[in-house]
Structure 1
Amino acid sequence: MSLVRLNIKGISYSQTQNGAYALILNEEDGERKLPIVIGAFEAQSIAIALEKEIRPPRPLTHDLFKNFADRFAIVVKQVIIHKLVDGVFYSSIICERDNLEEIIDARTSDAIALALRFKAPIFTYKAILEKAGIYLKSTPSKKKKISKQEETILEELILGDDAESTPKKAEDFSKYTLKELKAMLNDAVNNEDYERAASIRDEVSKRS
């Protein structure tokens, strides 16, 4: 099966799940995006790894794993998002020690947090991207600078501040027809509401 390399585009607030975030992965040589809902702790860990100049006063769990691996000469070579079942992504961490390769099962959020610390590439299979990726018809020719909202999100994640928010009930998409869902998906993508788009995509996938 063909592998596709992914890069991290950013992190946004979850609009439907209180305390959750949407991690946006971008196809390296294409226009599709892969939104993955992750927890606040994992989002904080990923945000800190992205902001290389910020160092927490004490090692986070993923930093501890990196220090442990370095001490015992274990290297993370790559991360592969290899399966998607009922909206849940499954990942493998490909490690190497003394020229021996091992494959370790991991949550996708943990795998990506570690990939950043080891500067390891992130991949998924073409079939998964075709099933779960959100295709944007056009993208700017120049790389967009980080927005003020994204800066605020990163700041709050890094500093560990809890944003004031009212718990929001997850939207029920089961009552909509497939045609309505596809129209809603297009609207969500156009509005860059990737977390909602991911939820709609999962409902469409269940019916296909």
Structure 2
Amino acid sequence: MNKVQVEILGLSASPSTGGAYALLLKEVYGVRRLPIIIGSFEAQSIALEMEGIKAPRPLTHDLLKSVIEHLGGTVIEVIIDELKDNTFHAKIKIEIASFTHEIDSRPSDAIALAVRTGSPLYVAEEVMRLAAFVPSTEDIEEDTSSEVDEKEEELDKNITKETKLAELQDQLREAIEKEDYERAAKLRDEINKLKGKQN
């Protein structure tokens, strides 16, 4: 399986998805971005670890990390390997006593574990092809800005825009699956407009 290494670019609330959050992944050696909608508990767990904040009692993902370590295991990698019925699927690869085990997981749980163990994150090339997008040139330039405050402010704007893009792309996939091509065409036009393309 061809896979692409990614890193977490940002995490933002997505009011239109009922309290869910948008997790934005970015290619390490490229510009494509993959938005994934995750639950608030998993978003909080990822954010706490990224900010270096320790909960007073271990969270579920801290517990999972401890169990793996106590069994002498190591998390080798996390890979988002499938997109089926508009749902992302992931695998956690763990090595224990020279044996490699693949465990099915939700991407949000797998990523929460990966940030705790420092394990690399990957996305299957096929999943990137189906669900990732390339931001406009100005968005890429803003990401490489040397002004830290400006970058953070622009990142918030980009994430909001990319959250909307993620929602529209999910709706587009659903419309195509239901063979509602008229709605799909409208959604495609809206996505292109949001990306700054004029048809």
Q: TM-score, normalised by structure 1?
A: 0.74
For residues 117 and 193 of structure 2, the distance between their equivalents in structure 1, rounded to whole angstroms, comes to: 37
Q: Deviations over 1:28-84 (max 9, x none)?
A: 1111111111000000000011112x1111111101111121222111100111110
Q: Residue 166 of structure 2 corresponds to which residue in structure 1?
A: none
**Which moves more between the two structures, 114-123 or 10-19?**
10-19
Percent pairwise identity = 37
Task: Give runs of aligned pairs for residues 167-182 of structure 1, distance below 5 A.
Answer: 174=175, 177-182=183-188
Q: Residue 144 of structure 2 corresponds to which residue in structure 1?
A: 142
Q: 2:130 is paired with a residue of what secondary structure?
A: helix
- Kept after mapping to 1: 8 A contact 2:46/2:111: yes
Please report how far the alpha carbon of residue 125 of structure 1 lies from its aligned counterpart in structure 2 after TM superposition. Answer: 1.4
For residues 6 and 79 of structure 2, the distance between their equivalents in structure 1, rounded to whole angstroms, comes to: 10
Structure 1 counterpart of 2:104, one-letter code: D
Higher relative contact order (CA 8 A, sep 6+): 1
Q: Residue 75 of structure 2 corresponds to which residue in structure 1?
A: 76
Q: What RMSD over aligned residues (CA atoms) do the two structures have, in Å?
A: 2.3
Q: Residue 114 of structure 1 corresponds to which residue in structure 2?
A: 113
Select the structure that is richer in helix.
Answer: 2
- Kept after mapping to 2: 8 A contact 1:94/1:104: yes
For residues 195 and 60 of structure 2, the distance between their equivalents in structure 1, rounded to whole angstroms, comes to: 33
Aligned residues: 169
Q: TM-score, normalised by structure 2?
A: 0.77
- Structure 2 stretches lacking a partner, 5+ long: 157-169
Structure 2 counterpart of 1:129, one-letter code: M
- Kept after mapping to 1: 8 A contact 2:4/2:122: yes
- Structure 1 stretches lacking a partner, 5+ long: 151-170, 191-208
1:184 and 2:190 are equivalent in the alignment: yes
Q: Residue 60 of structure 1 corresponds to which residue in structure 2?
A: 59
